[in-house]
Every structure is written in structure tokens, then in C-alpha cells.
Structure 1
Amino acid sequence: MTAAPRPEADRLARALASLRGLAVGDALGSQFFVPAHYPALRERRLPPAPWQWTDDTEMACSVVAVLARHGAVDQDALAASFAEHHDFDRGYGPAIGRMLRLVRQEDADWRELSAALFDGQGSWGNGAAMRIAPLGAWYAGDPDQAARQAELSAVTTHRHVEAVAGTVAVAVAAALVADPAGPRDPEALLGAVLDRVPRSAVLAGTRRAVDMLDYDDVATVAAVLGCGRRTSALDTVPFTLWAAARHLGDYEGAFWATARAGGDVDTTCAIVGGIVAAAPEGGPPAPWTRRTEPLPEWAVAA
């Protein structure tokens, strides 16, 4: 049974809490692309601050700002926000970066551009999933609506079925975690996610993640599920769901387990951080938040 709809202020508070968890995971995770920081990862030592976030956080800020302004996903407003705030130096993938530049500079139609990517297949990258946890938190206790709105958000940039499935999976997980009455047992949580993810390799990977919930060896799990090395939704999302489900209420543990797997570390840590921080008890440690680059004013002002 789902909880009653939450007041708007509570929705925004949960979305912002998830966004901050996403930003910390993104910013701290991105530090471990630097070879000099590899020993710190092995020893669970924090690298020098400040930690700057990447495109993961920048796009998630647009998701929250549009939700705050419109109460739901307005695709035109979301695409416009992505384009307006697109900062090339944040590490965008080339295809999405070019798309957003065309929307901003030439007023191109995001629908046509998104549909044309990769010979008309659409992108199956992890970019739509990396930004969506705050939307799930917004729809705390209503995972079905989170799934519908996540799909609307995804197709503004990522139309491939795998990208959409990955986005839905992350949003549903965050919606369930953000609900104080939602499942806290890892198998029950992922089971509820499976009920709402469309048929896809992401769905199959999430089923494997359920089967591996009793595994403690992160390297083995990442070898089976993937950890974003191909930057696709199907080799990113199942692992992040595994990591988040095993570490609810333990942001630090979730981060270190995710980062140790390697791969697309900023994105996997952003997804896991956004899901775990959606829970009332799941936020990042205050010192970590202080070391992270502040969220942009245009996002928090929403």
C-alpha cells in the first residue's frame, strides 16, 4: 500500500536531500579518477577538498528546479534548463553535449535531436539515470508515479529502452526509500523495483543483483553486474541498486563500496548517493557536505 501524497514543501525537502546526497557522491567519486588519489580510495581516506561535482549534479539540479516550478516533469522546461545550464567543462558526453549546445544556440527541437541519436536508436547511456534520484524522492511513497515521471524525464535526452528502464529503476528505488514506511529489507526493495521496470537488460541485471545481495566481494559483484565502464544504463544501474540496497542508512558505507568497484565512479556514486540520501536517515556526513562544491543558487532557490 502506498502512502498518501505529501505536501509540496515536504516533496521539495526530500528532493533536495537526495540532490545533496547525489552531489556529494558525484563530487567525491570524481576525485578517484585522479591516479594520485588511488591510495586514498584503498585506505578510505578523503582526498583534499574542495570536491567539484560534474554533469551528473548539474542535470539533477535542473530536474529539481523543474519539479519545484511545475510540480511534475515539464519536458520542454526540462530540456530548456538542461541546455541553459550546460557547462562543457562538467564532463558531458559528446553526443548529449552537442545536443544541448544545439538546443541552446540554435533553438533546435530536443525531440528530433534525442530521437536521432545513435542512428535513430536513441542513447542508452547512464546519463538519464544518474540525475533522477531526486525525482524519486519527490514522489516518496508513490513509486508508480515516480516511474511515469522518470520516463518523461529520460526521453528528453535518452530514448533507448535501456536508458528509460534504468531511469525508471533508480527513480522507483528512491521513491520507496524516501517513504518512511517503505521497504528497508534489500530483497523487498529490489523486488518492488522489479515490479515496475519494463522488460530490458536492466531488468535482467536487477534480477541478478537480487541474487547477489548476500555477496560481500564488491569486485565480484561488479564483474557480473558491471560498474559503468561502458557508461551504459545496463552496466551501471543494476550494480548501483545492489550497492544502495545493501547500505540503506549508511551513506559512508554505500559510497566506499561503490567507489571501490571502479568504473564510472562519479556516476555510480551519484546514483547510490541520491538513493541512500532520499531516506530520512540516509544523508551524507556533514564534513563531506562541507567539502563538496555548493549547489548552484538557481537550483536551491527553487
Structure 2
Amino acid sequence: MSISPSPTSFVPSIPSENARRALASLSALAVGDAFGSQFFVPDNRSRHRDRELPPGVWEWTDDTEMAASVYREVVRHGEVDADRLAASFADHHDFDRGYGPATGRMLRLVREGADHRDLASGLFDGSGSWGNGAAMRVAPLGAFFADDTVAAAERAAVSARITHTHPEAVDGAVAVAVAAALVARGEVGTPGTFLGRVVDHLPEGALRKGVRAARALLIVPEPVGAAHQLGNGSRVRALDTVPFALWVAAKHLQGTLESALWAAVTPGGDMDTVAAIVGGVLGAGPAGAIDPEWGGRTEALPGWSLD
């Protein structure tokens, strides 16, 4: 995967380590997203069963495209401005990347001048989206703000509400950002301690209960068994996606990115999003090093995110 130029060239006051962590997270997120997306191709279904790498080039989806905007926002500005990030989502929206219909329509309307706040809060009869879209894109933000997990959580919530105002979706983004921050700062401890620290940043609610359930299920050896209890993203809901993705990340804190991504896709479901979250969380830590073969098969990151 070709990654250039330096991500710190925009704002010299931003520590290079922050930007490095965010880029490492984004790069691994893209590999996970692109890898997982290949198993929706009928010709690759036997490869999923046989754990055989699909042929390249692996194209990434909306997960990476939106994560690239998040990455660009924090590296350029060291902050998260909701209006600016919403405009970036809308400007770089590529319909062919697999966006959900509600998000796709919303981003089109933002390009036409509509207010993202009104659109997001009005979705689904005013309840807001509880989907996994805010969680799938947020890991680079968590890696960037790793020095302060409270700040990572706060900014993750801001980034989530641009498109997802339902508490479950916001909490899902917070959980992923905090997990990425903990990995990036090297303070994970045991898998149980890691998930416990994520839980500590979540308010009472369904998502907190889901991550606590993931922690209790760390005794389960195989991802299919865990996904049976936690979900595999097939409902495209934060509650159906984030707990299992964090279970996979926790189980592979000392492993390799490749083994984690195979675990992420093993139960099926929303494979690209689960693998994107796992890749983004592990990406800034020792377990996130990208195997050259996997990186070489993955489509390059969008040039606009790195210019």
C-alpha cells in the first residue's frame, strides 16, 4: 500500500507521533475493510471457507472513504469540527463504495446545501440512525487522540452525530475510538482489562451492556461462538457489530493483524465493517503491522486524504 506524503505536512504544531498513529490505524482499517469486502464476491466464497486470500486488487468501501475524511480532519486541524467533517463526507461521497441508502441520500442533500444536523436527527422518524457507520470510520481519531482517552471519546461523539444521532450509534463510535486510543498508547493489559477500560468510558445503555457481554465471552475460543451471542454485523447495527469487533480485537492484542482479520470475517455478516473496525483498532499498536502481501493486494488510500 503506497502511503505518501508525510501526514504531518499540514499543521507543524501537531505532534508527528499523533499523525503517525492515525495513519497506521487508517492503513490497517483499509486493509481490513478491503479484505472483508472481497467475500461478498461470489467467486470468493470458497476462499472464505478455505481461508485462502482472494486475488487482488482488494477495493475498499465507504468504511475507508469516510475514515479517510476523519483522518484528514484530525491531522489537518488537530480537532473535529462537525460542519467541516460533514462537508468532507459529502464532497468525497462515492455512491459506488457501498453506502447505505439513508447515508447516501443524506450526503447528497448536504452537497446541495442542507444542514447535516437536521438531516441526521430526522432519520428514522426522529430516532436517528443506530447503524454501525459512525463506529466503522472512527478508529484513526482514537489513535490520534490516544494521549487523552476522554478527549478521544468526546470527539468521537461529535464525529458520530454528523450522521448517527441514536445513542447506540454514538456509544459505538466512542467504544471504538477509546479502544483504538488504548492500543495506540500501549495500555491494553489483558483482554479483559482492555474491554473493561472501554466499558468505563460508556454510559449506561445497550452498547455498554454489549461490550460487557463481549468481555464475559472472552472465554469462548472461536469467533463463531462469540458472534452467535454478540452478533456479526448482519443487522448493520452498532449493537450488532461493535461488541463482536472489540471481542476480536481483544483476543488478538498480542497476535497478528492477519489472524485478527480472519477471525473478524469467519462468522460472515457485515464482514468489511467488522474487519475495518478490528483493523483500525489494532492498527496503531504492535499487532497492527500490515503484512506486505496483504498491503500489496489492497487498493491505495485515497490521494486526497494524504495531500
TM-score, normalized by the shorter chain, greater than 0.5 = yes
2:220 is matched with 215
Aligned equivalent of 2:137, options 127, 131, 135: 131
User: How far, CA to CA, are the matches of 1:63 and 1:8 in structure 2?
Assistant: 17
**Contact 2:14–2:75 (CA under 8 A) maintained in structure 1:** no
- Render the CA deviation track for 1:39-96: whole Å, top value 9, x for unaligned: 2122221111000000000000000111112111111110000000000000000001
- Count of aligned residue pairs for this structure pair: 294
Aligned equivalent of 2:88, options 78, 81, 96: 81
Query: Residue 265 of structure 2 aligns to which amino acid in structure 1?
Result: A
Query: Residue 236 of structure 2 aligns to which amino acid in structure 1?
Result: T
Query: Residue 95 of structure 1 aligns to which amino acid in structure 2?
Result: A
* 1:99 counterpart SS class: helix
Matched, 1:110 2:83: no
| Percent identity for Structure 1 against Structure 2 | 57
- Offset at 1:184? 3.4
Query: Residue 188 of structure 1 aligns to which amino acid in structure 2?
Result: T
User: How far, CA to CA, are the matches of 1:41 and 1:184 in structure 2?
Assistant: 32
User: How far, CA to CA, are the matches of 1:285 and 1:198 in structure 2?
Assistant: 37
Query: Residue 86 of structure 2 aligns to which amino acid in structure 1?
Result: A
2:252 is matched with 247
Aligned equivalent of 1:147, options 153, 165, 176: 153
User: How far, CA to CA, are the matches of 1:272 and 1:299 in structure 2?
Assistant: 21
List runs of 5+ in structure 2 lacking aligned partners.
1-12
Matched, 1:100 2:100: no
1:232 is matched with 237
User: How far, CA to CA, are the matches of 1:232 and 1:275 in structure 2?
Assistant: 18
* 1:235 counterpart SS class: helix
User: How far, CA to CA, are the matches of 1:134 and 1:247 in structure 2?
Assistant: 19
2:69 is matched with 62
- Cα root mean square deviation, aligned: 1.2
2:295 is matched with 289
Structure 1 residue ranges (4+ consecutive) displaced by more than 2 angstroms after TM superposition: none
Matched, 1:203 2:224: no
User: How far, CA to CA, are the matches of 1:247 and 1:259 in structure 2?
Assistant: 14
User: How far, CA to CA, are the matches of 1:291 and 1:237 in structure 2?
Assistant: 26
**Contact 1:194–1:207 (CA under 8 A) maintained in structure 2:** yes
Matched, 1:176 2:188: no
**Contact 1:250–1:276 (CA under 8 A) maintained in structure 2:** no
User: How far, CA to CA, are the matches of 2:238 and 2:278 in structure 1?
Assistant: 14
List runs of 5+ in structure 1 lacking aligned partners.
1-5
* 1:213 counterpart SS class: helix
User: How far, CA to CA, are the matches of 1:153 and 1:41 in structure 2?
Assistant: 33
- Offset at 1:127? 0.2
- Offset at 1:143? 1.1
1:3 is matched with none
**Contact 2:252–2:287 (CA under 8 A) maintained in structure 1:** no
**Contact 1:103–1:110 (CA under 8 A) maintained in structure 2:** yes
Query: Residue 53 of structure 1 aligns to which amino acid in structure 2?
Result: W
Matched, 1:270 2:276: yes
User: How far, CA to CA, are the matches of 1:64 and 1:45 in structure 2?
Assistant: 31
- Offset at 1:281? 4.3
Cα distance, 1:160–1:132 mapped onto 2, change above 3 Å? same
Cα distance, 1:140–1:280 mapped onto 2, change above 3 Å? farther
- Offset at 1:215? 0.7
* 2:219 counterpart SS class: coil
Aligned equivalent of 2:24, options 13, 17, 32: 17
